[in-house]
Amino acid sequence: MVGLRRAKTILCVVLVVMATTLANGAKMLKENVQDEDKDKQSQGCGESIDVKASGAKGDGKTDDSAAFAAAWKKVCEAKSPSSLIVPKGDYLVNTLEFKGPCKSAVTIDMNGNLKAPSKATPGKPHCGWINFEKLENFNLKGHGAIFDGQGAHAWKINDCAKTGKCNTLPINIRITDLVNSKIKDIKSTNSKLFHMNIINCKNLTLEDIGIDAPPESLNTDGIHIGRSDGVRLVRSKIKTGDDCISIGDGTENFLVEDVECGPGHGIAIGSLGKYPNEKPVKGVTIRRCHIKNTDNGVRIKTWPGSPPGIVSNILFQEITMDNVSLPILIDQVYCPHGHCNKGGPSKVKLSDITYRDIKGTSASKVAVKLLCSPGEPCTNINLSNIDFKYTGKEKGPAVSACSDVKPKVEGKMEPPACTEKAKSDT
């Protein structure tokens, strides 16, 4: 890599010298042509800033936060596309803010690992440890870099799943207001809270992402997304103690493809309807996924007694499940630990939802449960080629339960659709 970079720099210098020589030798050239040449030169010769040159040690012990901040400032202020280079090593860092807007496109070439302090210092609500914010044409090349949140201590003191009162531990990686950007080949481990939050992004691709936390880590959702349009998550592996992927309000045109999930709580749209003025969730495709040893496979959850909301144009396709409790679930009476207002049905409207080519084993008898809202029954729900076997301890085959929905069934349907009435377990 270093050799290649040096070669690029040399080439760049040569080009500048050549261009300058040419420009000098051809003074009769029209001025606008020279200006164009200058633009091309400045685009081709961005800076490469090495964090070690800014004082980072990368020894896993020294706090390298200030060195990262200094290097980022230089890269972000560069007038032509530039790179922040992180050589191999383990960098102990506190909160880092890779924040724009920057003057030009920025690439981070991350060859080393980042490590958080293990002490759990509460911050502002929804704060992040590593933050990417307000960037356009941003590119993170991870080469397998590990973002280690060192969360084991935090999980012991974090009981927000039980109390509903979450403390303010940092999210491992917080991605806000990114446009036309790409994040590739990074791994988030042992986050103190959620691993990755994606909010307010447009046209963002996440590729080869790894999420790894043990099943006992509470509230460590893998990837949460909300208020974003055109995000793609492809070729990723998520193992965690909560939802692998949770899709919040205002998510449009979200693609999840070739993702493995488990252990964890599966892939979820919602929960929705907890707050007023939530934006619709529209155009979500989850396909070619493998879900293993999880509670729930693919689910949509909305709170009872909710304000109006919309979930529409959702496609779940080619999903294989292994030992999953409740593989296909719509729960419009979502009420964890009794923290909900049961004064009325959910007003979140679910429509145009297709489940196609979904198969595997169910660890609970109810393999398909569509519990829609009596206040806003589900419409246009299609089930096509569904095949589940029950592998738990009770006798008898898998069953499918429905209420306030009349799904359209096509192809194979095992267990047969709506053999019993769906009831809320809360």
- Please say whether the beta carbons of 302 and 284 come within 8 A: no
Listed residue (50, 56, 44) closest to 13, CA to CA: 44
Give the shortest CB-95-to-ligand NAG separation in angstroms.
Answer: 26
- The Cα angle at residue 218 between residues 213 and 221, in degrees rounded to 5: 65
Cβ proximity to ligand NAG: between 181 and 373 the closer is 181
Helices 31-44 and 2-25 meet at what angle, rounded to 10?
170
Binding mask 287-306 for ligand NAG (x = CB under 6 A): ------x-x-----------
Catalytic, out of 153, 195, 224, 265: 265
Listed residue (66, 37, 50) closest to 5, CA to CA: 50
- What whole-number distance in Å separates Cα of residue 246 and Cα of residue 272? 11
- Please say whether the beta carbons of 354 and 330 come within 8 A: no
Identify the bridge partners of residue 141 per DSSP, sorted by sequence position.
109, 184
Binding mask 387-426 for ligand NAG (x = CB under 6 A): ---------------------x------------------
Known active-site residue 265? yes
**Total residues binding ligand NAG (CB under 6 A):** 15
Interface with ligand NAG (CB under 6 A), residue from 34, 62, 168, 203: 203
Per CB under 6 A, which region of 145-153, 174-182, 278-286, 341-349 contacts ligand NAG? 174-182
Listed residue (15, 71, 4) closest to 43, CA to CA: 15
Q: Does 80 bind ligand NAG (CB under 6 A)?
A: no
Identify the bridge partners of residue 239 per DSSP, sorted by sequence position.
212
Q: Does 328 bind ligand NAG (CB under 6 A)?
A: no
Binding mask 361-390 for ligand NAG (x = CB under 6 A): --x----------------x-x--------
Give the shortest CB-212-to-ligand NAG separation in angstroms.
Answer: 17
Q: Does 323 bind ligand NAG (CB under 6 A)?
A: yes
Interface with ligand NAG (CB under 6 A), residue from 65, 167, 205, 253: 205
Per CB under 6 A, which region of 72-80, 176-184, 235-243, 336-344 contacts ligand NAG? 176-184
Interface with ligand NAG (CB under 6 A), residue from 104, 354, 373, 403: 354
Cβ proximity to ligand NAG: between 5 and 182 the closer is 182
- In the complex, the residues that contact ligand NAG under the rule CB under 6 A are 180-182, 203, 205, 293, 295, 323, 325, 352, 354, 363, 380, 382, 408
Catalytic residues: 265
